[in-house]
Amino acid sequence: MSRESRAYRTEGIVLRRRNIGEADSIFVVFGEERGKFEGVARGIRKARSRMRGHLEPLTFSRFLMARGRNLDVFTQAETVRSFPNVAADLDRWATASYLLELVDRFTVEHAPNRDLFHLLYASLESLDGGSAADLVPRYFELHVLALTGFDVYLDGCAACGGRLPPENTLVAAAAGGLVCRQCRPEAGTGRLLSVPAIKVLRHARRASLPEFVALRVPGAVVEELRAALGDFVRYHLERELGTARFVEELRASGSITAQNADT
């Protein structure tokens, strides 16, 4: 390895931290250029660490890294963008943690996915700007599925390709999307989506995030989408996400404000 390549610059959004040893932490970062990568930060848990605060989950930072034998080492870090309003609100923080975990679970290391990076950045920005905390994650789920190869098919029957009449329609994760009446027996488990819910989903596919979160969606419809998209996430990840459970707990304890109440 040549001398010049020992250190390099990069940037990304910090997804998670894992503490090791006395004062070190390993951070998982998702960057536009490099995709997901890990690095170790030495002494970061000491109060006088200069990187502390710049290397925290939920910050977009610029790093100077040094190649290490096993793990690369963070040698300098500087915050480019933090999301203070997300960090200062329990519901938004929980939702943002869910988005970070989705990215962590749906990606493999060293595989850049620029669109996904932009989606994550825009979603955190949107949450920070006060958008509906229950619409942002729905948009994110639909698009993270699409961007990682698990697109939800909405334009016809996912099994036979046939046209779908405007009626309550089955959506099944195993089939990969909406399923017509004839194909239902082979589609596996799923749930029925109402016509408004299907329309909102189709809109989410085409619209930009700001356009989508400006939408006024009735609570019952958001609830349908949450359940359906949650099915897809669980089906493809084959697990229940800890952050999803936490968001759910907060919601159950009546903390998530009524939809769009703060816009």
Residues forming the site for another protein (CB under 8 A): 16, 21-22, 47-48, 50, 52-54, 56-58, 79, 82, 84, 87-90, 93-94, 97-98, 100-101, 104, 242-243, 245-247, 249, 255
CB nearer to another protein: give 114 or 245: 245
**Shortest gap between Cβ of 250 and another protein (angstroms)?**
8
Assigned token pair, 112: 């850049």
CB nearer to another protein: give 93 or 212: 93
**Shortest gap between Cβ of 70 and another protein (angstroms)?**
12
Assigned token pair, 125: 């920005």
User: Exposure of 29 by Cβ count < 10 A (0-12 exposed, 13-18 middle, 19+ buried)?
Assistant: buried
CB nearer to another protein: give 23 or 73: 23
CB nearer to another protein: give 16 or 143: 16
CB nearer to another protein: give 136 or 204: 136
**Shortest gap between Cβ of 207 and another protein (angstroms)?**
29
- Tell me how long the chain is: 263
**Shortest gap between Cβ of 249 and another protein (angstroms)?**
6
**Shortest gap between Cβ of 242 and another protein (angstroms)?**
4
